[in-house]
Structure 1
Amino acid sequence: MKPRIVISKAAATSLLAIFAMVRPALAAQEQPLPPEQAFVVTAKHKSANVIGVEIIPAKKHYLYKSKTRFALKNSPGVGIRDVVLSSGEIKDDPFFGRIEVYKETVRADIALDRKPSAGGMTLIAYFQGCNEALGICYPPLERSIELKFSR
């Protein structure tokens, strides 16, 4: 004869209530963030010829430094002269081995060559990152940022 476990109605109700509260929290943790929330990109003029860009990974997310780059689109009279990225930290990545990543805000100073007649530009930020908690990586991403120049 198999032993039986007897549980009171009150205990069963309590267990069901706890499960009902915990289950949505677990489900929420299991869902990856949309890319726009996982990696927030901002840009602003630091000077007449330097743009400051920040890419902010969400908590438990990181970006690959080697997958972070910038380009211009539909920006006559403007070119990128130099890009200086902040330092990251070294991670033993299951896909890429030892690689530099950003778990905190990435800062990039983008020095521009521009003609005085240039009215604005479209900066494209390319990057790729992962959700460390879930062990998943996002496909390569890009964000377009419109910036105007004062005359």
Structure 2
Amino acid sequence: MARNPFLLGFLLVFCIAIAEAEYIKYKDPKQPLNSRIKDLLSRMTLEEKIGQMVQIDRSVASPEVMKKHFIGSILRGVVNVPPQKDSAETWINMVNDLQKGSLSTRLGIPFIFGIDAVHGHNNVYKATIFPHNVGLGATRQVDVLHC
């Protein structure tokens, strides 16, 4: 069986690249959580730490903003109500686009998406709305209150 020198050279370079790749503890799910957190924090700059503590309104969020400022959280709710009849697909695409910005940063930290939905998604088309506990109490259905 003849050996291909090009293939052997490629495999050698590939193996060396893998061997030299930096091990990143915070991305290893097998590591204890505290070790992962310490590793991640030790790698973060002050700007990245500040960005992770910030929650911005959806109206000012974009993939570019997420990447540039290392934003940790977005809120969509009371002030910035979603357009009526936004489909689930629209929401998924919006979040995925913003997440691409966050994941393209040096450390690849995903953002948290916050929704003002204490009583259900009353501003999302065809979403479930949960009654407030006062409303449940007014029904005099005591068993409902103990779920």
User: Do these two structures clear the TM 0.5 threshold for a shared fold by scoring above it?
Assistant: no
TM-score, normalising length: structure 1:
0.23
Q: Which has the higher strand share?
A: 1
Identify which of structures 1 and 2 has the higher relative contact order when contacts are C-alpha pairs closer than 8 Å and 6+ apart: 1
TM-score, normalising length: structure 2:
0.23
